[in-house]
Each structure stands twice: as C-alpha cells, then as structure tokens.
C-alpha cells in the first residue's frame, strides 16, 4: 500500500499538487484516512532520501579521505624521488671528484717516475763517464750500417723480428751492423755489453744509443741528434730524436 501511496504522491506532485479523486470525494473519513496514509508514505520517503543523502555524504567523506591519502602518498613518493635524484647527483659529483683526484695522483706519480728515471740515467751516465777510456775510431762499416737502417724506414715493428719485412729494436741494429761487417747479438742488453762505451757527447753515425734502466731498447745514431729505431708493437721503423727518452749510454761497435 505504501508503495502505491508513494506513486500517488509522485503523481500528485506532477499534477501540480492536485489530490486524486479518492482524496477529494464526498466521504470525509475516507479522504482523511487517505491523506494520513499519504503523509505517512511521504514521511517514509523523506526519511529514506535523508538516509541516502547521509550515505552519499559519508561516501563523499570517504572518497575525500582516500584522495587525501593518495595525495599524501604521491607527495611522499615525489619527495623520495627528489631525495634519490639529489643522492644520485651527489654520488656522480663525488665520483667525478674521485676520478679527477685519481688522474692527478696518476699524473703526479708518472712525473715522479720520469724524474727518478732521468735522475737514475744521469747518475748511470755520470758513473760510466768516469770509466771512459780513449774513444775508438768509427768502424769503416758505420756508413753501411746507417744506410741499411735508413732503407728500412716505414717497415713495421715485430717482436724478435730481424727483417727483411719487419724488425724489433735490436733486430734492426743487428742487421744494420751485419751490413757494416760487424756481428752483433739479437739483444739490446747483449749489444750494450758487446760494444765500447763512449760519451753521449762523442756519438757518431752508426753508434748505438741505449735506453731505460734495464736496457730493453736500442737505436742506431743517424747523425744530427737523430736515431733510427723500431720502438714498439703497433709502430714502425722511424727516425726520432735521440733524446725522445733519456738515453742511459752509447756504444760503438767494431
């Protein structure tokens, strides 16, 4: 019945407030009962609508709280992201500084090693100078040795190479002096031991110039402050200053 009354109430509202015929008939008792029932149904409808409104308000509050929580989570995530980015930037800056400091230390150590090497070479040369005897004359085959070495310019370096297509340092000087009529071993240390020590100030074309404290490199003096040498893997027979690295001594074959 209440459902029908609600429908009647809605219909009444749509008619602009006019009561249906049953409520406006000649029987006052029946009309009064109808009106009371209609009022009760309207009250129930209002209560239900009020409950719906309260429920909607509660849901709205819940949604607002959920949104506030989501905003708080988003803000926390963004703060963490900013903190992580700042930490990453700081780490990169620290790494760059460490690399720079390391490069500086390496350069300083390399400089110290060069200074020590030069000092050792200077002392070695000074010590050898005290033992120099009369400087022997240049061998007659010196020019042939230099010419042979010059003819190999541009050929690649190869460890243990002794021609004809590639050379290492002592292989080049050995073959050069073979062309000059003098037999030398295929070893820079052995060539150092097998030649006569002469002052660097007295070198002539054909003399051998030795390098490094362990004497692992040798070149042949070509005149004009230049040597011809096969220096290292990836390089080739070339002309360069006899002082491209501090020499530790000179030897004269023959």
- Sequence ranges of the domains in the chain: 2-73, 132-252
Sort 187 into a burial class: Cβ within 10 Å, 0-12 / 13-18 / 19+. Answer: middle
Per-residue pLDDT in tens (0 to 9) along the chain, 254 residues: 445 555 655 555 455 555 555 555 556 676 667 667 767 776 777 888 888 889 898 999 999 999 999 998 999 999 889 988 988 898 899 888 888 888 888 888 887 886 676 566 555 555 554 467 778 888 899 999 999 999 999 999 999 999 999 999 999 999 999 999 999 999 999 999 999 999 999 999 999 999 999 999 999 999 999 999 999 999 999 999 999 999 999 999 98
Distance CA 142, CA 147 (A): 9
Residue 119: per-residue pLDDT: 60
Distance CA 249, CA 252 (A): 10
Task: Please state the pTM of the whole predicted model.
Answer: 0.51
The pairing of strands 196-198 and 208-211 is unpaired
φ and ψ of 249, to 5 deg: 170, 175
CATH topology of domain 132-252: endopeptidase fold (from Nostoc punctiforme) (3.90.1720)
Q: Are 31 and 22 in contact (CB under 8 A)?
A: yes
Write out the H or E segment, with its range, that includes residue 221: strand 217-223
Residue 207: per-residue pLDDT: 98
3-class state of residue 93 by DSSP:
helix
Helices (H), the chain: 2-14, 28-129, 142-151, 169-179, 188-193
Q: For residue 157, what are its two tokens? A: 């370096």
Residue 130: per-residue pLDDT: 46
Q: For residue 196, what are its two tokens? A: 């006569």
φ and ψ of 38, to 5 deg: -65, -40
3-class state of residue 226 by DSSP:
strand
With tokens 């054909």, the residue in question is 206
CA 144 to chain centre: 51
Q: Are 205 and 221 in contact (CB under 8 A)?
A: yes
Query: Which residues make beta-bridge pairs with 251?
Result: 197, 208
Cis before 226? omega within 30? no
């Amino acid at each position: 019945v209440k459902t029908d009354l609600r429908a009647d109430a809605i219909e009444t509202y749509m008619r602009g407030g006019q009561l249906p015929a049953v409520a406006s008939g000649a029987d006052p008792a029946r009309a009064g009962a109808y009106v009371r029932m209609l009022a009760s149904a309207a009250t129930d409808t209002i209560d239900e609508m009020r409950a719906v409104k309260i429920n909607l308000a509660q849901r709205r509050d819940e949604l607002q709280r959920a949104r506030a929580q989501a905003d708080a989570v988003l803000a926390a995530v963004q703060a963490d992201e900013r903190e992580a980015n700042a930490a990453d930037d700081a780490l990169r800056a620290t790494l760059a500084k460490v690399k720079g400091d390391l490069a500086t230390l390496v350069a300083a150590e390399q400089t110290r090693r060069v200074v020590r090497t030069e000092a050792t070479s200077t002392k070695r040369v000074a010590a050898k100078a005290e033992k120099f005897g009369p400087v022997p004359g240049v061998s007659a085959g010196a020019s042939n040795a230099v010419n042979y070495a010059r003819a190999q310019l541009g050929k690649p370096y190869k460890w243990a190479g002794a021609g004809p297509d590639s050379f290492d340092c002592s292989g080049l000087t050995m073959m050069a002096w073979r062309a000059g009529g003098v037999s030398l071993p295929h070893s820079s240390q052995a060539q150092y031991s097998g030649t006569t020590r002469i002052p660097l100030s007295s070198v002539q074309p054909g003399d051998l110039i030795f390098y490094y404290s362990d004497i692992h490199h040798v070149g042949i003096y070509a005149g004009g402050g230049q040597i011809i040498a096969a220096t290292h893997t990836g390089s080739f027979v070339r002309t360069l200053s006899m002082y491209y690295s501090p020499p530790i001594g000179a030897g004269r074959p023959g």
